[in-house]
Chains A and B, each alone.
Chain A
Amino acid sequence: MEGVLAQTLVSGLLIGFVYALVAVGLTMIYGVMDVVNFAHGDYLMLSMYFSYWLFILFGMDPLYSLPAIVLVMFGIGVITYYITIRPIINSPMLSQIFVTFGLLIFLRGLAQFLWKVDYRMIPDTLVSGSFNLGGIYIGRPQLVAAVGAVLCSGLILWFLKNTKAGMALEAVSEDKEAARLMGINSDRMFALSWGIGIASVGVAGVLLSNFFYVFPEVGGQFCLIAFVVVALGGFGSVVGAFLAGIIVGLVEVVSGYLIDPSFKFMFVLSLYLAVVFIRPQGLMGRK
């Protein structure tokens, strides 16, 4: 029994790191510009498809295509900002919700049209199989994904605290007006936050494509989990998102283990409702 629990916890931890990475981009965009990107999960889906097709068409393993995809996703994020988000930056929240919601529909429709609804999986990746560590089976792709997620999240956090651009992002996140008075160009900062946010979810997508099915709706599941993570961590807090990601990963597997695997997502989602009921600002949010 103990072995199964330990196994469960380890897998929960590993996927939790990936959840954290997906949430980090989402919470950063919100923190900097008060926009909730409802299409966030679908950018994940997009990067998963990129990884899949690069493998199928050119034989590139996801680990090798990762850098290129990250750059492309960064560009897509910036373009998304300039074309669709900037025009509605001062519109009421209703418009913001509908625009990112429109992006969600657009991306899913595009995926359905281009690549159909079939489930796909990259066969035979560089990292595959599993190994045994003290009685616990650890899947290699899952481990790589977790490590990659931690590295990427750490990189983003380092960037925010230690570079000029990163600190400028934090400044805009804290107080837009004050940042503007200090000469920080908020427009560029917004574009940067979208670039980094979408690039980071791109990393998560490529890492996931090693072991997860790719299909147009895959974004929905991860996006919803990302929302739970962001809410639990506190909207706008990158550190909070990281911690919350781990917690959510653990809650998911533990509830599946203790109660019923079919209901585990239900518990994760109920966690969101609990956060809203009890402590809307989450673990580390402001307000």
Chain B
Amino acid sequence: MKKEYILLLIFFASLVIYPFIFENPFPRHLLIMIMLYGTMGIGWNIIGGYTGQVSFGNAAFFGVGAYTTAILLSKYGINPWFGMILGCVFSSMVAVIVGYPCFRLQGHYFAIATIAVGEIVQILFTNWEYAGAAVGIYIPILEESLWNFQFHTTKLPYYYIILVMFTCALLLCYAVDKSRFGYYFRAIKDDPDGARSLGINVRNYKLVAFILSAILTSICGTFYAMYVLYIHPANTIDLWLSIHLCILVLIGGLGKIFGPVLGAFIFIPLTEFTRVYLGSEGQGIDLIIYALIIILLATLRPQGLWGMLARSRT
């Protein structure tokens, strides 16, 4: 156990110290994206990895978080941190509306519903004048400060904000994993009828998992809105965002605390690499690679790379 704590410490220390050693903005941006996707991946992992309910629509929560913040700030001047909280509230509501009818049915009903909700949210925002329709919303430029959640001269504060969010997400997942909730989630994934015979209200626990997932994804949407300062349907509620989350958690390891972390550290650089170096010629190759990995993992060993690493150590 001790060795693992030391590795963990080194990991976080590296993340904290990194920007002071390397000043190149591109890797910094990459790390911000890794931690952003890592946080969302942790959110997806709670509902998909632990509880076994596959969601193909988590991008909807990202979009709700981003749009809520953007609209409140640009139209009513409401502080983005409050926007973040309200975004979480709305996302949780969406989670309950989707989950409540679907969670008493078989898994594929839920999976399809999440795709449908993602599309509905995208169509809504693409055609809703109030939300900027297809053009989207430009976040008003404010004075640089933590309170305003905006920084213009350097990306550094964003880096540390997302680092804090990422760390909190990991701590949350750790707490869930070790608590009654984590155990119940895993039981539900393993054998829901058996879980019921032990007094577990399966639907309610699935809802809790989904709400946690929604909140973690929603705060990332808010962060992203304040990071890029311009949001529109394509960069916030794309189906591919949902799919990317599934991919990175699957690769990294379902139901393991660090699965999404490993997945993000592999997925983001790999996607960037293929995009930059292979360009338009190589478009789609990364998808083919991911597809093959997913099919192999789902067929042979659903624990992902993290699980395989853990196995090889013991």
Judged by a CB distance under 8 angstroms, whether B164 is at the interface is no
Instruction: Count contacts on A: residues with CB < 8 A to the other chain.
Output: 46
B53 to chain A, nearest CB (A): 9
Query: In the complex, A216→B283 CA distance in Å?
Result: 12
Residues of B within 8 A of A130 (CB): none
Judged by a CB distance under 8 angstroms, whether A243 is at the interface is no
Residues of B within 8 A of A276 (CB): 101-102, 105, 109, 113
Given known A105-B243, A106-B288, A277-B101, contact A97–B116 (CB-CB < 8 A): no
Within 8 A of A (CB), among B248-299: 250, 280, 282-288, 290-292, 294-295, 297-299
Q: Is the CB of A266 within 8 A of B107?
A: no
Closest to B112 in A: A227
Residues of A within 8 A of B250 (CB): 98
Main SS of chain A's interface residues? helix
A251 to chain B, nearest CB (A): 14
A121 to chain B, nearest CB (A): 21
Q: Is the CB of A97 within 8 A of B120?
A: no
Interface string of A72-98 (1 = CB under 8 A from B): 000000000000100110011111011
Closest to A276 in B: B101
Query: In the complex, A269→B112 CA distance in Å?
Result: 10
Judged by a CB distance under 8 angstroms, whether B33 is at the interface is no
Query: In the complex, A216→B189 CA distance in Å?
Result: 33
Judged by a CB distance under 8 angstroms, whether B171 is at the interface is no
Closest to A110 in B: B288
A122 to chain B, nearest CB (A): 22
Q: Is the CB of A265 within 8 A of B123?
A: yes
Q: Is the CB of A116 within 8 A of B283?
A: yes
Q: Is the CB of A266 within 8 A of B120?
A: yes
Within 8 A of A (CB), among B67-124: 98, 101-102, 105-109, 111-113, 115-117, 119-120, 123-124
Residues of B within 8 A of A36 (CB): 108, 111-112
Closest to A221 in B: B119
Residues of B within 8 A of A111 (CB): 284
Query: In the complex, A84→B113 CA distance in Å?
Result: 25
Q: Is the CB of B285 within 8 A of A228?
A: no
Query: In the complex, A112→B278 CA distance in Å?
Result: 13
Query: In the complex, A104→B112 CA distance in Å?
Result: 14
Q: Is the CB of A269 within 8 A of B52?
A: no
Interface string of A221-234 (1 = CB under 8 A from B): 00010011001000
Residues of A within 8 A of B107 (CB): 93-94, 97
Judged by a CB distance under 8 angstroms, whether B14 is at the interface is no
Q: Is the CB of B294 within 8 A of A101?
A: yes
A27 to chain B, nearest CB (A): 12
A231 to chain B, nearest CB (A): 7
Given known A93-B107, A109-B285, contact A101–B246 (CB-CB < 8 A): yes
Q: Is the CB of A263 within 8 A of B123?
A: yes
Residues of B within 8 A of A99 (CB): 294-295, 298-299
Q: Is the CB of A117 within 8 A of B283?
A: yes
Interface string of A2-43 (1 = CB under 8 A from B): 000000000000000000000000000000000010100000
Judged by a CB distance under 8 angstroms, whether A272 is at the interface is yes
Judged by a CB distance under 8 angstroms, whether B247 is at the interface is yes
Q: Is the CB of B101 within 8 A of A273?
A: yes
Q: Is the CB of A106 within 8 A of B295?
A: yes
Q: Is the CB of B285 within 8 A of A113?
A: yes
Residues of A within 8 A of B243 (CB): 105
B52 to chain A, nearest CB (A): 5
| Residue among B106, B108, B120, B294 making CB contact with A105, cutoff 8 Å | B294
Judged by a CB distance under 8 angstroms, whether A262 is at the interface is yes
Query: In the complex, A139→B124 CA distance in Å?
Result: 30
Query: In the complex, A92→B54 CA distance in Å?
Result: 12
A264 to chain B, nearest CB (A): 9
Query: In the complex, A36→B246 CA distance in Å?
Result: 17
Q: Is the CB of A272 within 8 A of B116?
A: yes
Interface string of A255-273 (1 = CB under 8 A from B): 0000010110110011011
Q: Is the CB of A228 within 8 A of B284?
A: no
Please name the 6 residue pairs, one residue from A and one from B, whose CB atoms are nearest each other, closest first: A109-B287, A112-B284, A113-B284, A106-B291, A98-B298, A102-B295
Q: List 30 A-B contacts (CB under 8 A).
A: A84-B295, A87-B299, A88-B298, A91-B299, A94-B189, A95-B298, A97-B108, A97-B111, A98-B297, A99-B298, A102-B292, A103-B291, A104-B291, A105-B247, A108-B287, A109-B288, A113-B284, A224-B115, A224-B119, A260-B127, A263-B127, A265-B119, A266-B119, A269-B116, A269-B117, A269-B119, A273-B101, A273-B116, A276-B101, A280-B109
